[in-house]
Each structure stands twice: as structure tokens, then as C-alpha cells.
Structure 1
């Protein structure tokens, strides 16, 4: 799916759309029947359905301020989409990473998968991790988002989603997959990320299973909590 080719048309259509400012106002429960009805309506309207439905989420906490709420409670749903046009309407209204405060996490996950290790789709998986200078992280994040939405990465069905962790010194991009023990799929995902992102060889990519993150407390969740 060539997601980029539809951007200009979608931008023209979204001139009357409101900005995404209240994540809590979006629905949180998606029923299979509703998804089928939506796809039927999209096809009749001449829209271009994506292979997967996606959801944008974010987390944000004020540095140095302790809270009684859990990490899961602080993950807020922004918006979901299931067509190329719907993606661009959403994406064009989202704040760019360079304008967001630190620490903030942006999440893009397939619908039905929460951006948590404990989710059944993630619990046996892991993530590829790349660290970026803040000046360039937004560009690599956008390239990755387009590749995920357009189903352009190898072993795409094994991918759960991606996270951009905005931090004071550098930003951290991670791509989550379902099965950390499938070495072939894990390495193929690495190659696909490097290819689609045109990642220079100087950048180091590290793969880490989620269970290892739970054991050593070096995860993005704890980075986020520390601020």
C-alpha cells in the first residue's frame, strides 16, 4: 500500500477536520461487526482500506512528580484509523515529535494490542531499539510510521507496533514484535527497518526481549517513570 501517495488528497479533505486534542474522547472498545461495517462503508466511499487498523497512543508525566496512577493508566488513546485517508487526517493533526516535551512516549500499535509488555500479543516478544539525536528522530519516526501503516516491512504480521520515546538528551525508537524466539523473523525485521529508514551504518540497533526488560528494570517504562 503506497500510503505516501494519498497524503495530498487526504490533506485537502481534512481542512474541516478538528485537531486531535482530547484522547479520552475517542472510543476504547472496537467490535468486530463495527469493523466490518466500517470497511464496507469505506469501500463504498472510494477510500483505501489498510491491511490493519491502527491506534495512536501517548504517555506523558511531569518529571520529578510522583503519582499514584499506574503506567497503564497513564497511556492515553489518541485516535484510531483503518484507511489511508483516515491515517493522513489523523497524522496531519498530530503534534510533531520536536514540539513535544520530555518525557513523552508516542505509540503506534495495531488495534487490539495495547502498548504494554503484559498484553497477550507482546508478552512473548521483544523490541528493536535505536537511539537518535533529537534533531533527526522525527524524520526516522515518520519513515517508520509510514512503513508500518503501509505494511512495507518483512514479517509484518509479526509486528505489534512502534514507540518513540522523547527524552532530554536523545530520543529512542523501538519496534515491537510478537515472538522473540523466532530468530529469522527478528533478524528480517532488523534488515527491513534499516532498509526502509535508510539508517546509516553508524547507528547501533539492539534487540531486547520484553522479559529481559522486566528482569533488569532497564526498560522504556522505567526510563519514562524516572523522567
Structure 2
């Protein structure tokens, strides 16, 4: 489960505690979500509450998990992903985030996504298809801190690249964790360089840490998110 609790849900922030449907790690039961339901959640109207500090964009937290003991199937990815919270203000972000377990407290092969509302965390989405992502591999005890720093920088508009940033993903794996930030235009070197440099700064990465950029059209061709020799779902 990703939620610590579901009390004190803020006005305007939709928090959909659907994780009972995700089953325990050992269930092996596959998740199903109707596309219409996903569309409804993606486009649900959220408003800042009285006195709240509006963000430039509204955002959705998503969660996905590969059922244990089953081979990774990229065609099934969209069936196994859920919108779990939507927010549009600083206060709503913190109230939603405070109810979520940190990546370091989660087990198994799963992903947490934070994307602008209306953008699916899929390579093929209209906003993503011509873009790519910067990838950083992390030792597990650094993951929670780096994820928090990244999403705070993203909602706080620290990347300074207009509307280029689409979202961010933390991918929890058995031997290492992987953080990535997605942008719209892979062929704009000025944008990708600024995102890289800002990412290195907000994560406080030492110069020795290798950062990889991968275009989404390459991922579509080779059906991998991170490396060509091993399959990792998004």
C-alpha cells in the first residue's frame, strides 16, 4: 500500500485511495482500469482552496506495479496504472504527499509518477512522443530524499524551461532504484542541457554520477525504458 492514511483530505485535492485493488505483493492479481475512468481522473477539475497558493499547473500522482511472477508486458502497462491524487496548490501537494509512503518504504517492482494533469506517463502520449527523459540510477538509501527534492523542484518551476517538463518517475527495483524526468522535445539540446544541469543540482549529485538521456521513440522501438539489454517497464 502507498497511503499511510486517508484522513484530512484537503478541499480541491482529489485523493483516490484505490490501492486495495492493487492487492498485496504476493497476490499476483492483475489490475484493471477502464480507459474512461482513467480519462475522468486525468481531467477532474481541481481548484485551490481559499487562501491557498496556486501552482502554475495541476498535477496527478500515479502508481503502477508489475504483478509478481509474471513477465513484463509493455502492452499491459496502461491497465496497471492508476491516478491516486490530483492537486493544484502548494497546500494540496503537501497534504497529498504527506499521506504517501516514501519510495524507500515500498517493496517490490513498482513506480510512482508525478505528471502534469492531462499527460499520461506513457511514451506514446501526445505530450511525450517527441520527447525523452534524463535517467539517474540510485542506491536505495538515497531514493526517498532524491525523489522529494525532484518533485519539489518540478512543482516549484525550478527547471526554467517553460512548459517542457512533463513529469517525473521513480522506479523501484530489486537491486537499484531509478529516477527520471520527462520532457517534451528531445531534439532541443538547450532544453535538455538545462534540465540535466538543474537535475544534478537539485539532487546534489556528485560529478562522478552518470546521467543518461533516452528518447521516447527509442524506447518505443526497443521496448525498454532504461537500457537496451534488459527490459524494465516504464
**TM-score (norm: length of structure 1):** 0.81
Equivalent residues of 2:103, 2:144 under 8 A apart = yes
Q: Secondary structure at the match of 1:139?
A: helix
2:192 to 173, 186, 195: 186
List aligned pairs for 1:9-48, cutoff 5 A.
16-17=8-9, 21-22=17-18, 28-30=41-43, 34=45, 38-39=47-48, 42=49, 45-48=50-53
Matched-pair contact (CA < 8 Å) for 1:137–1:171: yes
Q: CA deviation at 1:15?
A: 6.8
The runs of 5 or more residues in structure 1 that have no matched partner are 1-13
Cα displacement string for residues 106-150 of structure 1 (whole angstroms, at most 9, x for unaligned residues): 000000100001100000000000000001111111100100111
**Residues 100 and 46 of structure 1, relative CA distance in 2, 3 Å threshold:** same
Query: Given the alignment, which residue of 79, 101, 119 partners 1:73?
Result: 79
- Counterpart in 2 of 1:92? 98
Aligned to 2:65: 60
Distance 2:172 2:109 in 1: 5
Total equivalences in the alignment: 204
Partner deviation per Cα, 1:79-100 (whole Å, 9 max, x = no partner): 1000000001100001110111
More helix by share: 1
Q: Deviations over 1:148-186 (max 9, x none)?
A: 111111214100000000000000011000000111101
Where relative contact order (Cα < 8 A, 6+ residues apart) is larger, the structure is 1
